Structure 1
Amino acid sequence: MASRIHLTDITPQVSPDELLAGMHPSYRFGEVSFDTYIPDPSQPSQAAAVERMSRFADSVGKASSGGFLGKLFGKSKPKEPAGLYLDGGFGVGKTHLLASLWHAAEGKRAFGTFVEYTNLVGALSFRKAVDVLKGYDLVCIDEFELDDPGDTVLMSRLMRELADAGVKIAATSNTLPGALGEGRFAAQDFKREIQVLADQFEIMRIDGEDYRHRGLPDAPQPLEDAQVEPLAEERYPEASIAVDSFPALLEHLSRVHPSRYRQMLKDVDVLALHDVETITNQATALRFVVLADRLYDKDVPILASGVPFDRLFTEEMMAGGYQKKYFRAVSRLTSLVREGQGVAER
């Protein structure tokens, strides 16, 4: 029989050691590989990315041929980029490839979203985070988006020190490194920092359409409010179902640090939301984006009443500086709603 819990009753505490222990691909990407990534034949950049990342995985933990001996005999080669940067739109499989790299590489590896790394720095201190991550052979950074100047400086310093220590780095994003910050803040002081990031990566573009919407029907309409819980229990009779009012959940998220959202969802199998409404506050919207990412990571089906998720954010938000985050969240939430409400995927 299904059990009910409320996310609004959960305020988890997460230690720095627990944050580090969680730096691995999520459940959704727990068993992926380069072989399970199916390139679109009409998009040759996808097959090229698989081949390049497979070679990169083989290089993790191995010294560069342009190292000590090359310098000793005066035949040092130009310094290779510290890592790979996968640029592309939503749903072309960048996270799948990044997780496949993590699984394929040998040695000590860390995998997390951009937000999770900034949270790690906040929990450990910058110097401690650098000292810890220097002991890794590979650091994978998913969803690399710089939304404010402080994060630009923070991640630039972190990656520069890791690269200097010989750590391989791989990242995904929807924006080329040299274009990070455009349309978000105009401070000239940060252009130098942004360029430093760009210079540290070999950039690979992955083209294609969002796989979550290839050949799929439109997102289903929201349920009537009285249907939400009965349908959740009918479809998931043995599940742990989180039942929450959307406005109350937004209020609760304001009191829980985003680094704890993954732990908050630890025992949740299904999410039943009442009265979804358009979010009009930017800070609230960005917190919900983090929750959406964690729900998608854990593959939590959603059943909801209220407005459809393609109206979750205002038109101004969808056209503003954080639009890439919002479009990603809408794409992922729509996929989870299809699953939760039983809409067939072809």
Structure 2
Amino acid sequence: MAEQTPVAEQTPAALASRTPHVPAERLVAEMVPPPRFSTVSFDNYIPDPGQPSQATAVKELAAFATSVSDGSGAADGRRKSWFRRETRPAAPRGPRGMYLDGGYGVGKTHLLASLWHATAAPPERKAFGTFVELTNLVGALGFQQTVQTLSGHRLLCIDEFELDDPGDTVLVSTLLGKLVDAGVALAATSNTLPGKLGEGRFAAADFLREIQGLSAHFRALRIDGEDYRHRGLPEAPAPYSDETVTRAAHHTPGASLDDFPALLDHLSRVHPSRYGAMCDGIEAVCLTGVGPVPDQSTALRLVVLADRLYDREVPVLASGVPFDRLFSEEMLQGGYRKKYFRAISRLTALARDGKRLAE
């Protein structure tokens, strides 16, 4: 058997040393499905035979994509001229958007990205982003400029729609109302407080109250099922030693190496909208000293980082406690539990990917 050529030792990067600046034009240009979902489609979504709602969702969303593409369910996409007023055709009646409701790991993001890909429009005429990314776009461009920028789109997809910040909720609901009036079709996945929407249903009354009547523009699709990331897969690998993680970081091209408490502290000084840019060029994340997250604010920041790493398919190798012990029992029973379970699910999947780094 031929001997493997050893990888030269290198000095790993540190996420905790990065404080990226993200210009507004980059925020707009990057409103596309992330790398993990860059090639997904309705065809390669695999419905669970035991969950008929999954196959139904594929059928309904494919039909919606067709309606958006041919203009029957979306705007014609014309932008307003600086010199003359252009009239739009009357907006079609009935729901102008799809709302995908379900637990974590049932493939909602896969389906949302598939809708984006299936909609026949140039990339610059359709947008895809998380709720956090959308609020950050408003912060960077200003409300009126954001409305003008997105009003010419056929479709806006919002992943992980959140109702846990009243200020942001009102801001985005007002924005979406303006876009609906402009003829933009909408699609969203839910990631909401159980006490608001509820995990198993689209509570129209709560949604109506929280975002000022925008629920009338959405048709709800419930997607049942278990977390596909762990369906039939082996358990996540146990944490490694500090020495193993450090050695892997020094021998993995593009790897970062961080002390977990120091990284959590750094996250408090970087806006969550920049976490994606913070991961630019990182091929693997190595963490030493992983331990329980001390408070809810820190926990919510970690959730965003986990999402950005998962989007980018960055494997994770860690020492310390297992990822299912990151959040306290109180956190896992509280209002943000869906976020925490999603983070555990995604980090566990990335830990499986990171197993090869230790070998």
Question: Partner letter of residue 287 of structure 2?
Answer: L
Give me the whole-angstrom Cα distance separating, in 2, the residues matched to 1:259 and 1:177: 24
State yes or no: 1:269 paired with 2:314: no
Which residue in the other structure is 1:27 paired with?
35
Question: Partner letter of residue 134 of structure 1?
Answer: S
Deviation, structure 1 residue 250? 1.0
Give me the whole-angstrom Cα distance separating, in 1, the residues matched to 2:92 and 2:15: 52
Give me the whole-angstrom Cα distance separating, in 2, the residues matched to 1:134 and 1:177: 32
8 A Cα contact 2:173 2:212, kept in partner: no
State yes or no: 1:8 paired with 2:16: yes
| Residue 312 to residue 137, structure 1, CA distance change in 2 (3 Å) | same
Give me the whole-angstrom Cα distance separating, in 1, the residues matched to 2:66 and 2:92: 20
Deviation, structure 1 residue 191? 5.8
| Residue 2 to residue 321, structure 1, CA distance change in 2 (3 Å) | farther
1:169 pairs, out of 179, 186, 197, with 186
| Residue 101 to residue 191, structure 1, CA distance change in 2 (3 Å) | closer
Which residue in the other structure is 1:152 paired with?
169
Give me the whole-angstrom Cα distance separating, in 1, the residues matched to 2:175 and 2:9: 45
Give me the whole-angstrom Cα distance separating, in 1, the residues matched to 2:38 and 2:141: 26
DSSP-derived class of the 1:328 partner: helix
Give me the whole-angstrom Cα distance separating, in 1, the residues matched to 2:231 and 2:127: 31
Superposed counterparts of 1:320-335, under 5 Å: 320-335=334-349
Superposed counterparts of 1:1-346, under 5 Å: 1=8, 3=10, 4-64=12-72, 79-107=93-121, 108-175=125-192, 179-180=196-197, 192-194=209-211, 196-232=213-249, 237=252, 239-342=253-356
Question: Partner letter of residue 219 of structure 2?
Answer: E
Q: How many residues align?
A: 327
Q: List structure 1 runs of 4+ shifted beyond 6 angstroms.
A: none
Deviation, structure 1 residue 342? 4.0
Deviation, structure 1 residue 329? 0.6
| Residue 241 to residue 63, structure 1, CA distance change in 2 (3 Å) | closer
Gaps of 5+ in 2: 1-7, 76-89, 200-204
Gaps of 5+ in 1: 68-75, 183-187
8 A Cα contact 1:114 1:141, kept in partner: yes
Which residue in the other structure is 1:185 paired with?
none
State the Cα RMSD in Å.
2.6
Give me the whole-angstrom Cα distance separating, in 2, the residues matched to 1:126 and 1:177: 29
Calculate percent identity across the aligned residue pairs: 61
1:164-216 alpha-carbon deviations (Å, 9 max, x no partner): 1110000011459994499xxxxx99963436132220000111110011112
8 A Cα contact 2:108 2:189, kept in partner: yes
TM-score in terms of structure 2 length: 0.85
8 A Cα contact 1:87 1:176, kept in partner: no
